[in-house]
Structure 1
Amino acid sequence: METQLKDKVALITGGTQGIGRAIAVAVAKSGAAGIALVGRNPDRGADAAREISSLGVPAHFIPAELGGAEAPSDVLKAAFARFERIDLLVNAAADTNRGTVAAASPDFFDRLYAVNVRTPLFLMQGVINHLAKRRAPGSIVNILSMNAHGGTPDLAIYASTKAALALLTKNAAFSHRFDRIRINGINVGWADTPAERQMQAVTLGLGEDWLARANAAQPSGSLLLPEDVARLALFLLSDASAPMTGSLIDQEQGFVIGVRE
């Protein structure tokens, strides 16, 4: 199975840590011509760019706060200024903060939708229009969540953002299938990422041993790893998955059979 991305330029949000960074490394190892990494932390951004560059692939870090109204246009301008073109887009960045229907504030709601829906949408729009103007094929992968199927009470707002992006993924794929732009999504299950470690151990106060307990409860003996998601994302980005488009793949170790506490 060929999962090569030879001569392709990729734009990856959330590319400085966790799942986004693992995808960036996989893309670099698959022959990409360049990678634009988007993140908030300059130190992590510089470190990620160095890692990609050490693999022989030009890397450019774009610092951005993705909740800002101008973030999509600013990110696209920076990526085009460095590489002149974009062939692949991965929307991996997300705000995963908890919020229930009963307690969520308007500001909290607006921020999650800005980061998790509005920015991915307008990045897709920019890349789709760019590819269509070039009459070039391309591939977009949106990192979604198993919570898009419903979610637990404390993830109500987050879950709804991922459900919204899932619908936009399918709609955009249908709308641009004859432009040869393939758009797919991954509903990621519970994964061991730096953000999740901070959330579980510190924010939720479950202590440093939360991961051992969580791993022990999984069929495989481990939560999903960023590299697991990266392998699937690479498949979807590459011609190996063609002509697949509009697919939402559940990458999880269990089954969605109803609401569980």
Structure 2
Amino acid sequence: MKIDLEGKVIVITGAAQGLGAEIARTAAGAGAQALFLTDRNAPAGEAVAQDLAGQGHKAAFFMSDLAEPSAPSAVIDAALARFGRIDCLVNAAGITDRATVADGEVETWDRLYAVNARAPFFLMQGAINDMLRRGAAGAVLNILSMNAHCGAPDLAIYASTKGALATLTRNAANAHLADRIRVNGINVGWCDTPAERKMQAEILGNGDQWLAAAASNLPLGRLLQMDEVARLAVFLLSDAAGLTTGALIDMEQAVVGAPAGI
């Protein structure tokens, strides 16, 4: 089975670091024709694009803050201006913050929903409309979280944003079945990313030893790795995924619904 992205122009959000950057690198290695990267961290995003270009890949970076209502349309317009079309979209950008049902605030709700749900919706709208105008097949991949199933109590608002995106993923997939536009999602479990390292070691105050301690309590003795998520992402974007659409794949060392402790 051949898994590649040859001839495909791919837009990736959250591409300055973490899963977005890893997916960009893996997509480039899989033969993507061009990569349009966006993130609010311009220096880091430019560095990723320059690194890919230095390896002979077509890559461009566009700075955007997806918290801004106008950002999704600006990203789509810039991508079309640079590469002429969008064959695949990866919504990897996301933010998180602690908030329970008892103490969540309107500001936190609005901020998380703006980036985690509103922006992906309008990015999907822009990419899908380009595919429809051209009468072309395409693929969208949304990066979600295992928290979409329920979430920890202190992630109530964050979890609900991912639940919203899960429903939007299925809705868009169903709406565009006959258009040959596939829309899928990955519910990412506990993954070893730069953002998670900062959250655990610095923000939550668990120190540098947190990773070893966390890994020791997991079935496989380690956290999920970014390259594992990126490989699945490339498969779902590729023609090798066939007609797979509306799928939300759990990548976690647990099975939802299984009895605890068994």
TM-score, normalised to structure 2's length?
0.96
Give the partner amino acid of 2:97. Answer: N
The equivalent of 1:97 in structure 2 is 97
Give the partner amino acid of 1:210. Answer: W
The equivalent of 2:15 in structure 1 is 15
Whole-Å separation in 2 of the counterparts to 1:106 and 1:258:
34
Displacement after TM superposition at 1:96 (Å): 1.6
Whole-Å separation in 2 of the counterparts to 1:45 and 1:209:
29
The equivalent of 1:177 in structure 2 is 177
Give the partner amino acid of 2:92. Answer: A
The equivalent of 2:77 in structure 1 is 77
Contact 1:19–1:229 under 8 Å retained in 2: yes
Task: Give the total of aligned pairs.
Answer: 260
Give deviations 1:2-55, integer Å, cap 9, x for gaps: 111111100000111111111101110111111011111122112101222133
Give the partner amino acid of 1:17. Answer: Q
Contact 1:94–1:116 under 8 Å retained in 2: yes
The equivalent of 1:114 in structure 2 is 114
| Residue 195 of structure 1 pairs with residue 190 of structure 2 | no
Whole-Å separation in 2 of the counterparts to 1:47 and 1:219:
36
Match runs of 1:125-164 below 5 Å = 125-164=125-164
Gaps of at least 5 residues in structure 1 are none
1:259–1:201 Cα change, 3 Å: farther
The equivalent of 1:167 in structure 2 is 167
Whole-Å separation in 2 of the counterparts to 1:2 and 1:255:
29
Q: The residue matched to 1:187 in structure 2 has which SS?
A: strand
Displacement after TM superposition at 1:147 (Å): 0.4
Give deviations 1:126-158, integer Å, cap 9, x for gaps: 111110110000000000110001000111101
Whole-Å separation in 1 of the counterparts to 2:51 and 2:77:
23
The equivalent of 2:230 in structure 1 is 230
The equivalent of 1:211 in structure 2 is 211
Q: The residue matched to 1:10 in structure 2 has which SS?
A: strand
Displacement after TM superposition at 1:202 (Å): 1.0
Whole-Å separation in 2 of the counterparts to 1:253 and 1:149:
15
Identity of aligned residues (%): 55
RMSD (Å), alpha carbons: 1.3
The equivalent of 1:239 in structure 2 is 239
The equivalent of 2:248 in structure 1 is 248
Gaps of at least 5 residues in structure 2 are none
Whole-Å separation in 1 of the counterparts to 2:211 and 2:68:
33
Displacement after TM superposition at 1:258 (Å): 7.5
Whole-Å separation in 1 of the counterparts to 2:9 and 2:231:
18
Displacement after TM superposition at 1:197 (Å): 0.8
Q: The residue matched to 2:178 in structure 1 has which SS?
A: helix
Give the partner amino acid of 2:69. Answer: A
Whole-Å separation in 1 of the counterparts to 2:245 and 2:42:
34
The equivalent of 1:35 in structure 2 is 35
The equivalent of 2:46 in structure 1 is 46
Q: The residue matched to 2:117 in structure 1 has which SS?
A: helix
TM-score, normalised to structure 1's length?
0.97
Give the partner amino acid of 1:55. Answer: Q
Displacement after TM superposition at 1:257 (Å): 3.0
Displacement after TM superposition at 1:256 (Å): 2.2
